[in-house]
Structure 1
Amino acid sequence: MPFARLAAVTTATAHFGLGLAALGRPAYITPGRDRDLPGGRSPDALRERAHELLDAAYAQGVRYFDVARSYGRAEEFLAQWLRARPEIQDVVIGSKWGYTYTADWRTDVEVHEVKDHSVEAFERQRAETDALLGERLDLYQIHSVTPDSPALTDPALHALLAEYAAGGVSVGISTSGPAQADAIRAALAVTVDGEPLFRTVQATYNLLETSAAEALAEAHDAGLTVIVKEALANGRLAGSAAPPALRAVAEETGFTCDAVALAAILRLPWAGVVLSGAATVLQLSANLHAAVVDLDEGQLARLAELPEESAAYWKHRSELPWS
């Protein structure tokens, strides 16, 4: 397993990863992008920002980097960064297939990405990812699996994924939506020749959306590495947007809201890697302070009162504008 390499990293931030969803394309659903990103958001400007974040993350001990075919040019930006730094060999690289980026570097389109979990989509996108990341790719995940996804029931696709895994690339899933737990449990049941197919699961989990917790613990107990995404709820758990209870705990600890929200997840025994989706070096540094935030039982109990009903959480997320 490629994630065994992370076990050898002794930095306090070894359980963090950096995701490039917000930096590989000009539009995303996290608010405040006019404030956080370079003016114009040209490919060159976002490439420079992505490389700045990757440098800062690596310097601060982060060793997992996460991209996807649908993140605009994120795979390209990461591949260029890796080629320019051949001495860096101790990182784990994960990407995802199953969505195609369709916005053509525009922010004003109605549809930014199209979902397709077919065999044909896998073969096309695998070739595209291999052309960019090649032997540096450690993990290839099916992007945003839901319980009705054909990726959970297609034996032809499972055979191709198993063949790909036999070549040295681990395969996993990411999940989204209010039925994440069902998708995770369905994925745990997928086998090829009697062996479990998926070795990782990447799921949304944060102080507002905790519905997948038991299923993620089951995945961990089954030997999968759990990667937590959207740990700050697309900005809802950072800065002035954070709930009053989180802001109060942050004031007590002397750390920022984002650091406290991430620290609560780091305490979970099943959380293998927690992703930062930072768009600036300052945001990244604040996120990484979570490694030294010490929360007492009373503070954790107050944070445990924050979860929303899952359907309401995902409805709110679906209404966030791309900007």
Structure 2
Amino acid sequence: MPFARLASVTTPTCHIGLGLAAVGRPGYINLGRDHDLGENRSVEALRTRTHELLDAAYAQGVRYFDAARSYGRSEEFLAGWLQNRPDVDDVVIGSKWGYTYTADWSADAERHEVKDHSLAAYERQRAETDTLLGDRLDLYQIHSVTPQSPALTDKELHARLAEAAARGITVGFSTSGPAQADAIRTALAVTVDGEPLFRTVQSTYNALETSAGPALAEAHDAGLTVIVKEGMANGRLAGPGAPEALRTVAEETGLGCDAVALAVVLRQPWAGVVLSGAATSTQLASNLHAAAVDLTDDQLSRLAALVEEPRAYWERRGQLPWH
């Protein structure tokens, strides 16, 4: 598996990855986006910003970069950076298929992405990803699987994914929604010729939404690499808008709310890679401080009180506007 390469990386930040959802397109649901990106969200402006973030992340020890077909031009930006940095040969590159970006580079589009987990969608998007990332792609994930996703029962799709795995691509899946645990356990049971199909899982887990934790522990024990997304709850755990308990603990540590929030995730024994969704280099530097946060039992107990009921959490997330 490509993530085995991270075992040889000795920097404290090797288990923090950079996700490109926030910078691959002009509109997204993260809070504070107007301040983060400003008014200039042209293709070239976000290409430059993405390359600067990738440079900064790599210089500080980050070795996993995560894109998706639905993240606007994230694959294109990442591919361009890789071409400009021929010295970078020790990174792990992941992307996702299953959503199509439909906003046409508008932050005000009525619909930003369309979900389709069919075999036809996979074949189309796999070809698109291959055109951009080619043999630099290490991991291809089904984007936002739910327990009802046809991708979990489509045997023909499973066979095609197994063919990709036989050619060297690691096959994984991501999850979203209040039933993440059910989706993870269903996916763990998917096999092709008696062998497990999926080798990685990427799920939402943060100080507010911990319901996937037990299932992610099971996935880890089954040999999957666990990638954690939305550790900042789409900005709800950052800055002055963060819950009081988190702000208090952050003050005690002398670091930012974001670093503390990500540290809560990093300390989970099953967490292989925790994604930063930084949109600025300053945010990235602050996020990476998570590797140095040492939380006491008392602080962890106070933060544990922040957990929300899963359906309430996902309902609120669904109401976040695209900025």
Tell me if both proteins adopt one fold, taking TM over 0.5 as the criterion: yes
The 8 Å contact of residues 17 and 276 in structure 1, kept in 2 or not, is answered as yes
Aligned partner of 1:40 in structure 2 is 40
* CA distance in 2: counterparts of 1:96 and 1:294, whole angstroms: 33
Q: Name the residue aligned to 1:249.
A: 249
Q: 1:42-82 CA deviation, whole Å, 9 max, x = no partner?
A: 00000000000000000000000000000000000000000
Give structure 1 regions of 4+ aligned residues with deviation exceeding 3 angstroms.
Answer: none
Read off the aligned partner of 1:140 and give its amino acid letter. Answer: Y
For 2:71, the equivalent position in structure 1 comes to 71
Residue matched to 1:310:
310
Following TM superposition, by how much is the alpha carbon of 1:40 offset from its aligned partner in structure 2, in angstroms? 2.2
Other-structure match for 1:160: 160
Residue equivalent to 1:261: 261
Paired position in structure 2 for 1:195 = 195
Q: 2:13 is paired with a residue of what secondary structure?
A: coil
Distance in structure 1 (CA, Å) of the matches to 2:32 and 2:14: 28
| Unmatched segments (≥5 aa) in structure 1 | none
Paired residues of 1:38 and 1:46 also in contact (CA < 8 A): no
Give the C-alpha shift of residue 264 in structure 1.
1.1
2:232 and 2:35 mapped to 1: Cα distance? 18
SS of 2:186 mapped into structure 1: helix
TM-score by length of 1: 0.99
Contact between 1:30 and 1:234, CA under 8 Å: does it hold in 2?
Answer: yes
- Percent identical across equivalent pairs? 76
- The Cα shift of 1:38 comes to 4.4
- Give the structure 2 partner of residue 229 of structure 1: 229
1:142 aligns with 2:145: no
Distance 2:249 2:33 in 1: 26
| Letter of the structure 2 residue corresponding to residue 35 of structure 1 | H
In structure 2, the residue matched to 1:298 is 298
Contact 1:278 1:284 in 2 (8 A): yes
Q: Deviations over 1:290-314 (max 9, x none)?
A: 1111111100111111110000000
C-alpha displacement at 1:104, in angstroms?
0.3
Contact 1:38–1:45, Cα closer than 8 Å, also in 2: no
Match of residue 7 from structure 1: 7
In structure 2, what is the equivalent of residue 85 of structure 1?
85
User: 1:283 corresponds to which residue?
Assistant: 283
In the alignment, the residues of structure 2 paired with residue 264 and residue 200 of structure 1 have an alpha-carbon distance, to the nearest angstrom, of 21
Query: Which string of whole-angstrom CA distances, capped at 9 and with x for unpartnered residues, describes residues 6-59 of structure 1?
Result: 110000000000000000000000121121114320000000000000000000
The answer for the alignment partner of 1:24 in structure 2 is 24
Deviation at 1:202, TM superposition (A): 0.1
Q: 1:109: Cα distance to partner?
A: 1.4
Ranges in structure 2 where 5+ consecutive residues have no aligned partner: none
- 3-state secondary structure, aligned to 1:3: helix
> For this pair of structures, how many residues does the alignment match?
323
| SS of corresponding position for 1:165 | helix
Amino acid at match of 2:11: T
Decide which moves more: 268-277 or 104-113: 104-113
Partner AA of 1:213 in structure 2: G
